[in-house]
């Protein structure tokens, strides 16, 4: 199962150059890296990244993250994937731009 991380361009660039990350500022303050499933990703983008252009969507294989990935109840009582270790560039299967068109982020076709 794929899980997804939305990063700003500078966060994605930092992961590429450093090879690992503890995530975005919210991840640092919460002590884990927030991810979304495919059905959760659009709501995550709308809630936390409204109006922000230049984002990237990263896909990771949940099972490959092992015991460091925990599924925990969050928004609306749904289980969300949270990673309790640094994310490595090698964890990322792919990264794609997440363009903002008329105020809505456009997700890749394979997620729709």
Tell me, what's the pLDDT at 110? 82
What CATH number is attached to the domain comprising 12? Answer: 3.20.170.20
Give the distance from CA 75 to its chain's centroid: 15
Is there a domain that residue 63 lies in? yes
Contacts of 91 (CB under 8 A, 6+ apart): 60, 64, 65
Domain with 18 in it: 2-98
- Residue 106, judged by CB atoms within 10 A of its CB (0-12, 13-18, 19+), counts as middle
d(CA 6, CA 44): 9
Domain count along the chain: 1
The answer to whether the beta carbons of residues 70 and 40 sit under 8 Å apart is: no
pLDDT surpasses 90 at 48: yes
d(CA 86, CA 22): 5
Q: How confident is the model at residue 30 (pLDDT cuts 50, 70, 90)?
A: very high
pLDDT surpasses 70 at 112: no
Is there a domain that residue 111 lies in? no
pTM for this entry: 0.95
Instruction: Encode pLDDT of 60-84 as tens digits.
Output: 999 999 999 999 998 788 999 999 9
pLDDT surpasses 70 at 43: yes
Is there a domain that residue 51 lies in? yes
Is there a domain that residue 70 lies in? yes
The answer to whether the beta carbons of residues 107 and 42 sit under 8 Å apart is: yes
Is there a domain that residue 90 lies in? yes
The rounded mean pLDDT for the chain is 95
Least confident of 23-32, 38-47, 72-81, 93-102: 72-81
Is there a domain that residue 41 lies in? yes
């Amino acid at each position: 199962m794929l899980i997804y991380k939305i990063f700003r361009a500078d966060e994605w660039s930092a992961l590429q150059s450093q090879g690992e990350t503890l995530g975005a500022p919210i991840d640092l303050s919460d002590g884990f890296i927030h991810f979304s499933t495919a059905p959760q990703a659009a709501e995550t983008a709308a809630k936390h990244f409204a109006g922000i252009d230049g984002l990237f969507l990263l896909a990771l294989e949940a099972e490959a993250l092992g015991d460091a990935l925990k599924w925990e109840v969050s928004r609306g009582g749904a289980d969300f994937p949270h990673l309790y270790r640094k994310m490595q560039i090698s964890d990322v299967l792919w990264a794609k731009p997440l363009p903002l068109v008329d105020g809505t982020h456009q997700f890749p076709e394979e997620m729709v």
